[in-house]
A and B are shown apart, each in its own frame.
Chain A
Amino acid sequence: MTEPAAATDGVVIKRLEVDAADWVDAVTEARGAGFSFFDWLTAVDQTDLEESPGLDVVCHLLDPSTPKALRRIMIRTRVPDGESLASITGVFRGAAWHERETHEMFGLEFDGFDDGTGLGLRPLLLPDGFEGTPLRKSFVLAARASKPWPGGKEPGESEHTKPTGRRRVSAPGVPDPEWGPR
């Protein structure tokens, strides 16, 4: 495990940055150190960065031993796009749903996923027949293309505000004008 810049945010959350290969070991070690309450696991789409693009997988654990002074730790790892990460369902059974949601929203595969049902890594929240991984920045939100929506859709577009002269940044997911509406 790389020595983290284990900077503590004041006294609130301890952050730990690990390599993808040490993911399960880091989580197991944290659990052994008293962080036995699994809070959540999710990912952040960082595939548009120049250096080491990938998905940041974040796991938040708490130490519930002193209820008035909870210790928290946030363990983070970066997984290059297309690769898979080891599943922590062997350490925390409750991570199964979080890994299912991360898988359906980001397309991230978890090796060794086991939630006891034998059904494997499957969608949790999205309706049947939904195609795509919605929380990725590359997922285009086609609502703007399906029909003309009135009013200003981005900051500064409305007729009530003066144009700031700021270079308009196209937010991730906003479809090109060529998409429509036609």
Chain B
Amino acid sequence: MAGVELGMPRMGAAADLAPQPVKVVLNWGRRYSLWVFNFGLACCAIEFIAASMARHDFIRLGVIPFAPGPRQADLMVVSGTVTDKMAPAVRRLYDQMPEPKYVISFGACSNTGGPYWDSYCVTKGVDTVIPVDVYVPGCPPRPESLLQGIIRLQEKIAQESLSTKVIRAKYAGHRTATAGEVTRGLVTPPAADTVTRAEP
């Protein structure tokens, strides 16, 4: 499928020329209308749902509606354990979201692998496959933590200044190398005769 040159990430022609008040207005609009793509995988998804329900309600922060797919979303909340079998799907769905996009990693499992970090099949943190903006710790985090995370993300967006240079830095990293090219060889065990067991 080579042939069509897709071009580097860039902003529209007038974006770099926009004066500061316009950027403030655009940031305001963007941060108070986050459309969330809930990537709910495990127990943290239940806490996410609880945060969307009546008592804690993140809808009042502007995070409406639940996007039906990645292409209508600008916020992806990864909640739950990411396994090695699921990681390519997470990456693909993140890729299919339109810029500017944000990711909240919700819960210990998607932050670092959580209580299952030792497992043979768990991805040690979703930030090994996608860039994360806000990490919400907890196992599972309280719904109030998610509200705090969304507010923190909104503060982060308020300070954003989107320009061609900024988004090229943010989104063009994967242009220089695909995930498949950046691989590390398997960790090989040390040769048997060199192992000296340390005495407890």
Given a CB threshold of 8 Å, the question of whether A touches B is answered with yes
Q: Which of A127, A130, A140, A168 contacts B200 (CB 8 A)?
A: A168
Q: Which of B84, B118, B124, B195 contacts A127 (CB 8 A)?
A: B84
Where chain B touches its partner, the secondary structure class is loop
Q: How far is the CA of A181 from the CA of B85 in the complex (A)?
A: 25
Q: Which of B118, B120, B121, B195 contacts A178 (CB 8 A)?
A: B195
Q: Is the CB of B120 within 8 A of A139?
A: yes
- Chain A stretch 167-182: residues in CB contact (< 8 A) with chain B: 167-168, 175-180
Q: Is the CB of A144 within 8 A of B118?
A: yes
Known: A127-B85, A134-B120, A141-B118. A179 touches B190 (CB 8 A): yes
Q: How far is the CA of A125 from the CA of B124 in the complex (A)?
A: 19
Whether a CB of chain B sits under 8 angstroms from the CB of A143 is: yes
Identify the closest chain A residue to B113 (Cβ): A143
Whether a CB of chain B sits under 8 angstroms from the CB of A8 is: no
Q: How far is the CA of A173 from the CA of B135 in the complex (A)?
A: 30
| Chain B: interface size category | 10 to 19
- CB proximity of A59 to chain B, nearest CB, Å: 25
Q: Which of A126, A146, A153, A180 contacts B121 (CB 8 A)?
A: A126
Whether a CB of chain B sits under 8 angstroms from the CB of A44 is: no
Known: A134-B121, A144-B118. A178 touches B84 (CB 8 A): no
Query: What residues of B have a CB within 8 angstroms of the CB of A125 in the complex?
Result: 85
Query: What residues of A have a CB within 8 angstroms of the CB of B194 in the complex?
Result: 178
Q: Is the CB of A176 within 8 A of B200?
A: no
Q: How far is the CA of A139 from the CA of B119 in the complex (A)?
A: 11
- Chain B stretch 81-135: residues in CB contact (< 8 A) with chain A: 84-85, 113, 117-121, 124
- CB proximity of B183 to chain A, nearest CB, Å: 12
- CB proximity of B81 to chain A, nearest CB, Å: 14
Please count how many residues in chain A sit with their CB below 8 Å of the partner chain's CB atoms: 25
Please report the number of residue pairs spanning A and B whose Cβ atoms sit closer than 8 angstroms. 44
Whether a CB of chain A sits under 8 angstroms from the CB of B25 is: no
Q: How far is the CA of A9 from the CA of B119 in the complex (A)?
A: 33
Query: What residues of A have a CB within 8 angstroms of the CB of B190 in the complex?
Result: 176, 178-179
Identify the closest chain A residue to B190 (Cβ): A178
Q: How far is the CA of A125 from the CA of B84 in the complex (A)?
A: 11
**Binary contact track B4-45/A, C-beta < 8 Å → 1, others 0:** 000000000000000000000000000000000000000000
Whether a CB of chain B sits under 8 angstroms from the CB of A145 is: yes
Whether a CB of chain A sits under 8 angstroms from the CB of B198 is: yes
Q: Which of A139, A149, A176 contacts B117 (CB 8 A)?
A: A149
Q: How far is the CA of A140 from the CA of B85 in the complex (A)?
A: 19
Q: Is the CB of A140 within 8 A of B113?
A: no
Q: Is the CB of B195 within 8 A of A141?
A: no
- CB proximity of B135 to chain A, nearest CB, Å: 16
Whether a CB of chain A sits under 8 angstroms from the CB of B197 is: yes
Q: How far is the CA of A167 from the CA of B199 in the complex (A)?
A: 11
Whether a CB of chain A sits under 8 angstroms from the CB of B189 is: yes
Q: Which of B119, B120, B187, B200 contacts A180 (CB 8 A)?
A: B187
Q: Is the CB of B117 within 8 A of A143?
A: yes
Known: A134-B120, A139-B120, A141-B119. A177 touches B198 (CB 8 A): yes
Q: Is the CB of B197 within 8 A of A176?
A: yes
Query: What residues of B have a CB within 8 angstroms of the CB of A21 in the complex?
Result: none
Query: What residues of B have a CB within 8 angstroms of the CB of A130 in the complex?
Result: 84, 121
Instruction: Give the interface centre of A127, A130, A140 by most chain B CB atoms within 10 Å.
Output: A127
Instruction: Give the interface centre of A125, A147, A178, A179 by most chain B CB atoms within 10 Å.
Output: A178
Could you jot down 8 A-B contacts, CB within 8 Å?
A126-B121, A127-B84, A130-B121, A132-B120, A141-B119, A143-B113, A146-B124, A178-B194
